[in-house]
Amino acid sequence: MPIYLDHAATSPMPADVLAAYVDALTVVGNPASIHSQGQNAKRMLEEARERIARSVGADSVEVTLTGGGTEAVNLAIKGLYWARNTAGSRPRILVPEGEHHATMDAIEWLEKHEGAVIEWIPLDELGRISLPALEAALGDDVALVTALWANNEVGTIQPVREIAALAAVHGVPVHLDAIAAYGYLPIDFHAVGVAAISISAHKIGGPVGAGALLIARSATVVPLLHGGNQQRARSGTQDAAGAVAFGLAAERATADLHGQASRLRAVRDRLVGGIRSAVPSAVYRGDPESAGRLPGNAHFTFPGCEGDSLLFLLDVAGFSVSTGSACQAGVPEASHVLTAMGLSEADARGALRFTLGHETTDAEVDALVAALPSAVSRASLAGLSDRETTLGR
C-alpha cells in the first residue's frame, strides 16, 4: 500500500464522511422546490451550510457554496473587481508573488480582457509578503487585494490581519485564499475583517467539486453565473449531497484544531529532522519556525536533482509526494514560488513538497526518510547525465 504524503493536493475521505455523502445522494428533491421532498433536501443543505459557517467563524448567509476552490477564487477576484471598477475608476489589483495558479490565471484574464492593472507585491526569502511594499502600493484606485492565507507550496503563513488592516485604511476589500490553510489553521472570518475567503472541501476530507466563498455582509460581489439566484452570489441548483459531506468534513477537521495541529507538527518535525540527517545537502524552504508555517508542510530543495525525477523514484518506492511546481507539455518548470523567494531557476528545480494528514504516522515518515537517500543519489546521477548530454560530452 503506497504511503500518501500529498495531502495538500487532496485528502482522503474518512469513512463517516463517505457514508454521509452516499446517504445524501439517495435523497430525491431539488432544494429550490417547494414540495416536501424539495424542502427536505433544502433542510439538509442549510444544516450543512451552518456547519461550514461555524467551522470558519461566519454566518450561514455569508457562505456561498461553489463547485470547488478554483471557482470560489474566481468568484471572489472577478466579482470584487467588477463590483469595484465601475467606469474604470479602480483598475488596479494588488497580488503577492507566488500565488496559486487559480489566482494568477484569474487576474491575468482580467488584465487581458477587462483592462485590469496587476501590481505584484514581492515576497521575502521565506515566502512572506512585504508589508511595506503593500502599504506603498495601496491607493484609492485599487479594486482589491488578493492573497494566500498560507502558501500552498512552501507552507509559509501570511500576516493576514496586517494585510487586512493596511487595506482597510484605503477602504480596499481583501480576498484571502485559505484553501491550503483550512482545517489546519484557525480561521475566524469575522475577526480577520476581510471581504471574502475561499475554501475547499477535498483538502479536508470532503468531496472533490465542493467549495465555498465566504462573503462579508458588507461586501458586493458580481456573480460569475446567472440564472435562478439560488444563492446570494451564485446561480445554479445547489449540490445538497456535496454540502452534507463538506459540512461533516468541516466539523471533523476543526473540532480539535489545536490538538490536531500540535500532533501534526510533531510528525512533521520528525520528518524534517530525519531528512536533514539522511540528506545533509537538502535545504528546508519556507519559514523554518513551526509557528510560521502550515503544521503538515515540509518543503525541501535537493541540489543537483530534478524534482520530477525524485518524485518518480519515490513513487516507484511506494511514496506519493509532490514537486509543488508546474509542468506544462511534459517540460518541468522551476516553481514560480521559489523564484519569487529569490532562488535561481536551477536551485528551484530540485523541489519536493511533503504534506502530511492527520492520519500520517511516525512509521510512515520514517519509511520515507529511509528511502530518500537512494532516490536522491539516483536522481543526482540522472541530473548529471542530462547535463553532460546537454553539453555534448
Place of cell 535537493: 302
pLDDT tens over the chain, length 393 residues: 899 999 999 999 999 999 999 999 999 999 999 999 999 999 999 999 999 999 999 999 999 999 999 999 999 999 999 999 998 999 999 999 999 999 999 999 999 999 999 999 999 999 999 999 999 999 999 999 999 999 999 999 999 999 999 999 999 999 999 999 999 999 999 999 999 999 999 999 999 999 999 999 999 999 999 999 999 999 999 999 999 999 999 999 999 999 999 999 999 999 999 999 999 999 999 999 999 999 999 999 999 999 999 999 999 999 999 998 554 445 567 899 999 999 999 999 899 999 999 999 999 999 999 999 999 999 986 654 454 444 343
- Residue 159 in domain: yes
Are residues 241 and 260 both part of a single domain? no
The C-alpha cell that represents 332 in the structure block: 518541468
H-run or E-run covering 304: none
Are residues 171 and 197 both part of a single domain? yes
327 is catalytic: yes
Place of cell 489589483: 93
- Residue 9 in domain: no
pLDDT of residue 388: 45
Residue 329 phi, psi (nearest 5): 55, 35
Q: Which of 254, 288, 308 is the last residue of a domain?
A: 254
Q: Which of 214, 233, 254 is the last residue of a domain?
A: 254
The C-alpha cell that represents 53 in the structure block: 459557517
- Residue 2 in domain: no
Active site residue: 22, 61, 266, 327, which one? 327
- Residue 380 in domain: yes
Are residues 214 and 129 both part of a single domain? yes
How far is CA 88 from each of CA 78, 83, 85, 200, rounded to the nearest angstrom? 14, 11, 5, 32
Are residues 192 and 277 both part of a single domain? no
Are residues 219 and 309 both part of a single domain? no
Residue 55 phi, psi (nearest 5): -70, -15
- Residue 10 in domain: no
Contact 100, 178 (CB under 8 A): no
Query: Which residues neighbour 198 within 8 Å (Cβ) at sequence distance 6 or greater?
Result: 69, 72, 73, 75, 76, 175, 176, 177, 178, 179, 211, 212, 213, 214
- Residue 80 in domain: yes
* Domain enclosing residue 96, as ranges: 15-254
pLDDT of residue 324: 81
CATH code, domain with 244:
3.40.640.10
pLDDT of residue 331: 57
Are residues 46 and 87 both part of a single domain? yes
Q: Which of 212, 230, 254 is the last residue of a domain?
A: 254
- Residue 3 in domain: no
Are residues 72 and 141 both part of a single domain? yes
